[in-house]
């Protein structure tokens, strides 16, 4: 049976190792946004031996490129983008920088799943296409790096009870594989 947790960032090893695929997590605290263009810049900084624009240890990165906010709103619609485009960057951030959580949608490759086991991190799914609903849980948004990337800039978000499902846990399991096996009809 899946469990429900309320967690606050930054996440530590105890936070993440208790989670299993299919668990529901309501996440609060600060999270950072980055899509592929920003990930490339972050990894280039590391390769050049420079420091990152935010603390990666215990951090959670949300793969999202929001719509522009309407006047008076902290952010526009903000649902997850497809995560595989970050697969080539995530293991380095998990294994070497202590990234503890990623929020997106869709399959990750084996390298990411292995990194989640080795260095204790979680891949969370948020509901794709629920951008208006998810934006309600985002209380503030501030661009902290790469404003030139527009919707792809790195943003610091404060979230309250952001609704997530554990897709890949620290034990190497994958909800997409397990869930589909339950309902696939061969004929």
Partner 1 sequence: MREIEYKDIVKGVRDAIIYSGTNLPKDAYKALEDAYANEKSEVCKEVLKQLLDNADIAANEARPLCQDTGLAVFFVKVGEEVKIKGGSLKKAINEGTEQGYKEGYLRASTCHWDTRANLKDEIGYNLPAIIHFDLVEGDGLEVEYAAKGGGSENVSRATVFAPAKGRKGIVEYVKQVISDAGPNPCPPLTVGVGIGGTFEKAVISSKHALFRELGSKNEDPVLESMEQELMSVLNNLGIGSMGMGGTQTVLGVHIEKNPCHIASLPVSVNVQCHSSRHIKIKF
Binding site for partner 1 (CB under 8 A): 2, 22, 37, 64-70, 76-79, 81-82, 84, 105-107, 125, 127-133, 135-136, 149-152, 163, 165, 175-176, 178-187
Based on CB atoms, which residue is closest to partner 1, 117 or 133?
133
C-alpha 168/C-alpha 23 separation (Å) is 10
C-alpha 58/C-alpha 7 separation (Å) is 12
Catalytic one of 27, 33, 39, 154: 39
- Cβ atoms 28, 6 nearer than 8 A: yes
C-alpha 26/C-alpha 151 separation (Å) is 25
Q: How far is the CB of 90 from partner 1 (least distance, A)?
A: 16
Query: Strand, coil or helix: what is 102?
Result: strand
Q: How far is the CB of 98 from partner 1 (least distance, A)?
A: 27
Q: Which two tokens stand for residue 160?
A: 């309250």
Q: Supply the angle between the helices 36-47 and 90-97 in degrees, to the nearest 10.
A: 50
Q: Among this protein's residues, is 39 annotated catalytic?
A: yes
Q: Which two tokens stand for residue 52?
A: 């990152």
Based on CB atoms, which residue is closest to partner 1, 147 or 172?
147
Residue among 132, 133, 56, 67 nearest 99 (CA): 56
Based on CB atoms, which residue is closest to partner 1, 53 or 76?
76
Q: How far is the CB of 78 from partner 1 (least distance, A)?
A: 5
Based on CB atoms, which residue is closest to partner 1, 96 or 109?
109
Q: Which residues are catalytic?
A: 39
């Amino acid at each position: 049976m899946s469990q429900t947790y309320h967690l606050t960032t930054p996440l530590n090893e105890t936070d993440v190792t208790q989670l299993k695929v299919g668990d529901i997590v309501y996440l609060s605290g600060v999270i950072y946004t980055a899509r592929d263009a920003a990930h490339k810049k972050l990894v280039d900084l590391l390769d050049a031996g420079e420091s990152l624009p935010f603390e990666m240890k215990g951090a959670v990165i949300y793969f999202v490129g929001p719509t522009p906010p309407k006047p008076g709103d902290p952010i526009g619609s903000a649902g997850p983008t497809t995560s595989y485009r970050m697969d080539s960057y995530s293991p380095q951030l998990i294994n070497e920088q202590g990234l503890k959580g990623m929020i997106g949608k869709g399959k990750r490759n084996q390298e990411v799943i292995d990194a989640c086991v080795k260095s204790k991190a979680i891949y969370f799914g948020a509901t794709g296409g629920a951008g208006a609903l998810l934006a309600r849980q985002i209380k503030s948004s501030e661009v902290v790096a790469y404003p030139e990337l527009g919707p792809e800039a790195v943003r610091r978000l404060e979230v309250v009870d952001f609704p997530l499902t554990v897709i890949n846990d620290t034990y190497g399991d994958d909800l997409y594989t397990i869930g589909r096996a339950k309902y696939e009809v061969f004929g």
